[in-house]
Structure 1
Amino acid sequence: MSILAWLLLGLVAGFIASRLVNRTGGGVLLDIVLGVVGALFGGWLFNQFGNAGVSGFNLYSLLVATIGAVVILALYHLIFSRRAA
């Protein structure tokens, strides 16, 4: 996939994950970063369980990236909410 496709997939996955985890977007840049990191993590995680990871710009890859982004976003909130307290 091209870098533009990764960014677009990351933006969409990050936005969906942000809405699922905390009901509000975290900003475009944070959504992209967490989405791309989530796509990488989701692809790695799915490969560990014997499934295909992110394979292109399709619905399955969006699902994998969103699941990874939800995990990354939940960890992000877990780490940074403790620092604020």
Structure 2
Amino acid sequence: MILQPGGLIAWLIVGLIAGFLANVLVRGHSSGCIGNIIVGLIGSVIGGVLASMLNLGTFRFIGSIVISFIGAAILVALLQFITGSRN
């Protein structure tokens, strides 16, 4: 796999969108740009693992955002459960 600048930018955008949506829908507020990107990128990994376990195939940009959002929402909910915060 070759990391190209366009691919990196696309993953950052996907991470930002997925992290923002997950934080707003699960927590009720955003974590800031960097926090959203981190949550979204980790969520992308979680969602990608789940998608591959379910043999869902490959996705284009919108599908990647959806899978990343699902993973990010799982991550945020898990973090809330572990820390016990409701904010």
What TM-score bracket applies, with the shorter chain setting the length?
0.7 to 0.9
TM-score by length of 1: 0.83
Please provide the CA RMSD for this pair. 1.6
Q: Distance in 2 between matches of 1:2 and 1:33?
A: 16
Find runs of 4+ consecutive structure 1 residues off by over 4 angstroms: none
Q: Aligned letter for 1:9?
A: V
Q: Distance in 2 between matches of 1:68 and 1:32?
A: 13
Unmatched 5+ stretches in structure 1: none
Q: Secondary structure at the match of 1:40?
A: helix
Unmatched 5+ stretches in structure 2: 1-5
Q: Distance in 2 between matches of 1:52 and 1:81?
A: 35
Aligned identity (percent) is: 31
TM-score by length of 2: 0.82
Q: Distance in 2 between matches of 1:52 and 1:40?
A: 15
Q: Distance in 2 between matches of 1:49 and 1:14?
A: 22
Q: Aligned letter for 2:28?
A: R
